[in-house]
């Protein structure tokens, strides 16, 4: 049940007004948005309409191509249908009349349909917000933002290293897989998992050895536990404006409706 992966660093180098915001302010606002949006208990057109307006505004100022968001949402849509698609036909209040009878015992209920719609809309809005967050800042700046928001430095350092070596080790894995394919591995049968096991085993050994060499390289340059020079980015007036207006709007409407 994976929602698909894509290269999100594609658009992090753009220079839109949203890109220029301090990562901290984007983290605070968009995570608040996701928390508030994903916990809406019942379908409310007014509330979702207001949230859609907010997110659309942020999206328009972000310069991200609409097509990319739609592509990612279509994968999510598929997932919503698989996971929640049965609900409209099953979930109903005791004694509730069916909206429609599809065939025989399969009936469509209003209660279930509303639950499904609610999930569908809140998932799409939340996922779009998350996409906007990670597409409008380079990953390392995002992590600096999290570090300034008091996420433990140890965790941030490890995550930065993971990010640094992600592409290096993934490349290594794909090279090994290609070598296996050239020797007849097709990946068509379950027992080919054995070949994947062997590839993964050597990949672990190589990764472990690399971590030793990286550690030596760090020690050689005087490593004592400090990983990077943190340059604190101050929040500017536009950041405070963005945080203030956004939080007021998304929290205010949630409370009012």
Partner 1 sequence: MHIPDGFVSGQINAAAFAVTAAVGAVAVAKAKKSLKEKQVPLLGITAAFVFAAQMLNFPIAGGTSGHFLGALLAMILLGPLNGFLVMSIVITVQCLVFADGGITALGTNIFNMGLIAGLGGYVVFRFLLAVLPFIFKGGTLGDRDGKSNKAGEVREVISSDVSGSINMKNPERAGWLLPSVAVASWFSVVTASAFCALELALSGTSPFGIVFPAMVGVHSLIGIGEAVITTGVVSIVFAARPELVPVWGKVLRTRMGDN
Partner 2 sequence: MNSVISVRHLSFSYPDGNRALKDVSFEIDADRCVAVIGSNGAGKSTLLLNLNGVLMPEGEVVLFGKTLTNKTVRELRRRIAIVFQNPDDQLFCSNIYEDIAFGPVNHGLKSAEVDKIVQETVKKLKLEGLENRNPFHLSYGEKKRVAIATVYSMNPDIYCFDEPTANLDPRGRREIAGLIREIGGTRIIVTHDLDLVKDVCSQVIVLDKGIKEAEGNVNEVLSDEKLLYKCGLL
Binding-site ranges for partner 2 (CB under 8 A): 139-140, 143, 160-161, 163-165, 167-168, 210, 213-214, 216-224, 226-229, 231
Q: Which is nearer to partner 2, 103 or 224 (CB)?
A: 224
Q: How far apart are CA 120 and CA 85, in angstroms?
A: 10
Residue 222 contact among partner 2, partner 1, none, beta carbon within 5 to 8 Å by kind = partner 2
Residue 248 contact among partner 1, partner 2, none, beta carbon within 5 to 8 Å by kind = none
Q: Which is nearer to partner 2, 13 or 104 (CB)?
A: 13
Q: Which is nearer to partner 2, 146 or 163 (CB)?
A: 163
Residue 52 contact among partner 1, partner 2, none, beta carbon within 5 to 8 Å by kind = none
Asked if residue 18 lies in contact with residue 136, where contact means CB atoms within 8 angstroms, the answer is yes
Mutual orientation of helices 139-148 and 110-135 as an angle, nearest 10°? 100
Give the shortest CB-6-to-partner 1 separation in angstroms.
Answer: 6
Q: How far apart are CA 177 and CA 193, in angstroms?
A: 12
Q: Which is nearer to partner 1, 94 or 234 (CB)?
A: 94
- The binding track of 157-176 with respect to partner 1, each residue x by CB under 8 A or -, is xxxxxxxxxx-xxx-xxx--
Number of H helices, E strands in the chain: 10, 2
Compute the CA torsion angle 142, 145, 151, 155 (nearest 10 deg).
Answer: 40
Q: Which is nearer to partner 1, 58 or 125 (CB)?
A: 125
Determine how many CB atoms are found less than 10 A away from the CB of residue 138.
14
The answer to whether 199 contacts partner 1 (rule: CB under 8 A) is: yes
The answer to whether 255 contacts partner 1 (rule: CB under 8 A) is: no
Given 45, 49, 65, 194, the residue binding partner 1 (CB under 8 A): 194
Asked if residue 55 lies in contact with residue 128, where contact means CB atoms within 8 angstroms, the answer is yes
Asked if residue 73 lies in contact with residue 48, where contact means CB atoms within 8 angstroms, the answer is no
Q: How far apart are CA 67 and CA 65, in angstroms?
A: 5
The answer to whether 71 contacts partner 1 (rule: CB under 8 A) is: no
Given 98, 108, 218, 233, the residue binding partner 1 (CB under 8 A): 218
Determine how many CB atoms are found less than 10 A away from the CB of residue 246.
20
């Amino acid at each position: 049940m994976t929602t698909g992966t894509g290269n999100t660093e594609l658009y992090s180098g753009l220079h839109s007004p949203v890109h220029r915001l301090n990562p901290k302010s984007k983290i605070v606002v968009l995570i608040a948005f996701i928390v508030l949006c994903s916990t809406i208990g019942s379908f409310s057109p007014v509330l979702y309409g207001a949230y859609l307006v907010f997110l659309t505004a942020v999206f328009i100022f972000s310069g991200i191509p609409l097509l990319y968001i739609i592509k990612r949402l279509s994968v999510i849509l598929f997932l919503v249908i698989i996971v929640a698609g049965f609900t409209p036909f099953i979930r109903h209040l005791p004694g509730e009349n069916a909206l429609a009878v599809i065939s025989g015992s399969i009936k469509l209920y209003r209660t279930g349909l509303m639950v499904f719609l609610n999930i569908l809309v809140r998932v799409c809005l939340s996922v779009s917000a998350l996409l906007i967050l990670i597409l409008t800042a380079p990953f390392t700046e995002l992590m600096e933002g999290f570090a300034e928001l008091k996420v433990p430095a140890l965790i941030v350092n490890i995550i930065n290293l993971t990010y640094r070596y992600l592409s290096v080790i993934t490349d290594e894995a794909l090279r090994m897989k290609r070598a296996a394919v050239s020797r007849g591995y097709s990946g068509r049968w379950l027992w080919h998992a054995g070949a994947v096991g062997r590839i993964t085993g050597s990949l672990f050994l190589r990764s472990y050895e690399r971590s030793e060499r990286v550690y030596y390289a760090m020690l050689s340059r005087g490593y004592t536990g400090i990983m990077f020079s943190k340059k604190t980015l101050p929040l500017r007036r536009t950041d405070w404006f963005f945080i203030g207006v956004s939080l007021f709007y998304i929290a205010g409407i949630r409370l009012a409706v």
